[in-house]
Amino acid sequence: MSLNVWDPFHDMEALLDKYSRTSRKTPTKSDDRALEVGDWMPIVDIDETPDAFHIRAELPGVHKEDINVAVDNNVLTIKGEKKKEQRDRKHHRTECLYGSFVRSFTLPQSIRADGIHAKYHNGALNLNIPKAEEVKPRQIKVNVN
């Protein structure tokens, strides 16, 4: 029989690691860095219709010139930066998040990456990712004699 040393904080640290650190890290193939981290993460909604996937990311205060959307090896990455305006003022409270952000999502093989359409309006980035023709559901009428 062997004795194991119990660490009461091991599970808590693993949980915090899972939700606070690794969700902000994304694999990158373009350079030698293994992980990419942002200062904050925008929230997103992902919906699916028979024809496409729809992603809505809330990016309040981010200028569209500061947003980059890319697809590489079926990984969709939304990157950008929310810049803080420098003013000669005394700050009493700052609750808004500033700095760079990164969100990545693995897309199914059944999408058409060349047909992705992006629209940015009122602080919301909307992406329409069409499905490939062969994966769209088809109905076949069966005649019975």
What is this structure's pTM?
0.66
Average pLDDT over residues 108-118: 91
pLDDT > 90 in the chain, percent: 44
| Domain locations in the chain as residue ranges | 31-85+94-134
**What CA–CA distance (Å, rounded) separates 66 from 81?**
6
- Give the tens place of pLDDT for each residue, 126-141: 999 999 887 566 778 8
Q: Is there a contact between 51 and 113 (Cβ–Cβ < 8 Å)?
A: no
Q: Is there a contact between 69 and 118 (Cβ–Cβ < 8 Å)?
A: yes
- Give the tens place of pLDDT for each residue, 17-66: 666 544 444 444 444 334 567 888 899 999 999 999 999 999 999 999 99
pLDDT at position 64: 93
Q: What fold, for 31-85+94-134? A: Immunoglobulin-like (2.60.40)
